[in-house]
Structure 1
Amino acid sequence: MAKFLNTSATNFFLEELIKNAKERLILISPYLRLNDRIKELLEDKDRLKIDVRIVYGKSDLHPEEIKWIQKLDYVRLSFCKNLHAKCYLNESECIISSLNLYEFSQVNNNEMGISVRKYEDDDVFKDAYEEAQRIIRISEEVRITLDAVKQTATTEETDNEDENNFSKLTTSKLAAKHKLKTADLLEKLVEKGFLKLNENGKHFLTDEGKLKGGEYRPSQYGGYFLWNDTTEL
């Protein structure tokens, strides 16, 4: 029988689903920004040569994800236009949930979902698996090549150029200056009212942030923020 999952249960069963994958793993989520724990689990699957397919639906893939995926041999990434489904499967169980593979959602949002096991609900599992395969078929596989890494490096060079020309720091550099993790600094900037989060967990610059010298610079991989090096925390 299907099992109801709240937010914490969804996170727990998702990790277990990844850990228990012996043959294949399919992760379908519009938004892709993996936390460190999920990355560790997927790296272990890669070492075991488990076939992993990740399908996402938003084009602003973060440079960190590109660099990370480029290192893995058995993790394949596909882009599906108009994707809204969130579904996670291995060869024997499936989770259908409101939870995105996005670290903000996993920590902050109230989520619901169900867990289905093949040996308990074979027909439901089969239907979910076939739909996941259909989504993979209509998706375009993303080739993470050296060109993509070079483009990412170019973006980072642009970041550094901005800092040199305008005496401003990217969020990661400002975090390093204050001996903070980037995620912790982002939380502080939200607390200060310089940034806000939209419903999809993405940060955007507020009027208050602009008054404090914050700038948003668009890029091929979703854009970044610049701050005065004297920005008060």
Structure 2
Amino acid sequence: MAEFLNKEKLLEWIPKIIETSEKELIIISPYIKISDKIFNLLKQAEKRSVEITLIYKEGELSKKEREKFDEIENLNLLFHSNLHSKCLYNEKYLLVTSMNLYEYSQKHNREMGVLFRRTDDEANGWNDYKKGKDDDSIFQDAIEEIGSILSSSDFEKESFKTKTNKFDISIIKSNKDFAFDRCDLLNTFSKNKKFIVFQDGEEWLCRCDDFVDNVHLIIENNRISIELNFDESRTLNIYERLKTNSYQYDYRIIDCFRMFWTSHKFSPKLYSYTKHKIWDFDQNSKEFLEGYFKGLNEFFKLLKPEIAKTKK
């Protein structure tokens, strides 16, 4: 749940967001004059290999502050001509605030902010709504605005990673961006099968139409839905041959998948069979994806003969 922060709580949370950054940190602050404490926390984040991106207002950075940032190898420094927004953002938290990263503001000004959580780490049990994670739509809207600010900013200093590879920040990727990345990855291993991004309500998913004739495949996070585009009687005939019972633990193991199909009115679903070795691999790895498509092919070896039997 969103939490209102007064000045005292802001002074607790600004350092905490830097400290809890695991891989990436974004700071947007028009005016910057950081305290020794904040500078040391940024240096500690550098030692943890956190990629730091800091955006300030053009013309508002002193030579002294600029020299400080030269000491931080993992820091991207950008400026924006019309910046007035202030926020800190990492994998777990988004803080929108009136406070600049400016020592004077932290000591003398009246400030406030709102904290949003992308994690349940602080929650005391499943029903601790006060410290539970906030709705994902908040972060999708924030990501869009942060991304817009970034794209309209100019670089002053590039991190080592940006210089040697490219500027790529995962925490500002939207669900739509991740779906495009996933489809691109699937397409590198799917040979002639083409996955495309499509929107289903608020979700962005990967879809392959006609994986076999009149059978579409939809990847929905941790499961696969199989759409059979046949008339009801034909679908029912296929279902009768392949169905599983409507009990929670009744499923059919097909290579690396568990198949559930409890009604011909619904699509067959494939879930991970976690005892299979491929689920120990990183899901972006060659080993995983080759095994994943092998499992899909095994499923269609079972399905295709049943489709052929029901042809009129």
> TM-score when scaled to structure 2?
0.45
Q: CA deviation at 1:23?
A: 1.2
Aligned to 1:222: none
Aligned mates of 1:127, 1:106 — CA distance in 2: 28
CA contact (8 A) 2:80 2:152 kept: yes
- Is 1:113 the counterpart of 2:127? The answer is no
Matching of residue 23 in structure 1 with residue 37 in structure 2: no
Aligned residue in 1 for 2:157: 143
> How big is the shift at 1:129?
2.5
Q: Which residue type is aligned with residue 90 of structure 1? A: N
The whole-number CA distance in structure 2 between the counterparts of 1:76 and 1:16 is 20
2:81 is the counterpart of 1:81: yes
Shift of 1:76: 0.9
The answer for the alignment partner of 1:130 in structure 2 is 144
CA drift of 1:135 comes to 0.8
- Which residue of 1 is the match for residue 35 of structure 2? 35
**Counterparts of 1:37 and 1:58 in 2: how far apart (Å)?**
24
Q: Give the partner amino acid of 1:69.
A: F
Q: CA deviation at 1:65?
A: 1.0
Aligned equivalents of 1:142 and 1:58: distance in 2?
10
DSSP-derived class of the 2:89 partner? strand
Cα pair 1:89 1:129 within 8 Å, conserved? no
The offset of 1:130, in angstroms, is: 2.7
Q: Using the aligned pairs only, state the percent identity.
A: 34
Q: Secondary structure at the match of 2:84?
A: coil
Structure 2 letter corresponding to 1:134: S
Correspondence 1:187-198 to 2 at 5 A: none
Q: Is the 8 A contact 2:75 2:157 kept in 1?
A: no
CA distance in 1, matches of 2:157, 2:43: 18
Q: Residue deviations 1:2-27, cap 9 Å, x none?
A: 00000010111111011000010000
8 Å contact from structure 2 (residues 30, 60) kept in 1: no
Measured after TM superposition, the shift of residue 60 of structure 1 is: 3.3
2:104 matched residue in structure 1: 104
Aligned length: 144
Paired with 1:62 and 1:51, the residues of 2 have a C-alpha distance of 23
Residue 143 of structure 1 and its aligned partner are, at CA, apart by: 3.0
Separation in 2, partners of 1:86, 1:33: 14
Per-residue deviation at 1:124?
Answer: 0.8
Per-residue CA shift, 1:187-233, capped at 9, x if unaligned?
Answer: xxxxxxxxxxxxxxxxxxxxxxxxxxxxxxxxxxxxxxxxxxxxxxx
- Seen in structure 2, the aligned counterparts of structure 1 residues 112 and 82 have a Cα distance that, compared at 3 Å, is same
Relative to total residues, which structure has the larger helix share, 1 or 2? 1
Alpha-carbon distance between aligned partners in 2 of 1:60 and 1:3, rounded to the nearest angstrom:
30
Unaligned runs of 5+ in 1: 145-233
Deviation (angstroms), 1:126: 2.5
Match of 1:69 in 2: 69
Note if contact 1:69-1:75 (Cα within 8 Å) is conserved in structure 2: yes
Counterpart position of 1:197: none
Change in Cα spacing, 1:97 to 1:23, as seen in structure 2 (3 Å) is same
Following the alignment from structure 2 to structure 1, what is the Cα–Cα distance between the partners of residues 56 and 149? Answer: 10
Aligned-pair Cα RMSD in Å = 1.3
The reply to whether residue 50 of structure 1 matches residue 64 of structure 2 is: no
Q: Secondary structure at the match of 2:110?
A: coil
Q: Which amino acid aligns with 2:107?
A: V
CA contact under 8 A between 2:4 and 2:115: conserved in structure 1? yes
Q: Choose between structure 1 and 2 for higher RCO, CA contacts under 8 A separated by at least 6 residues.
A: 1
What's the CA shift for 1:125?
2.1
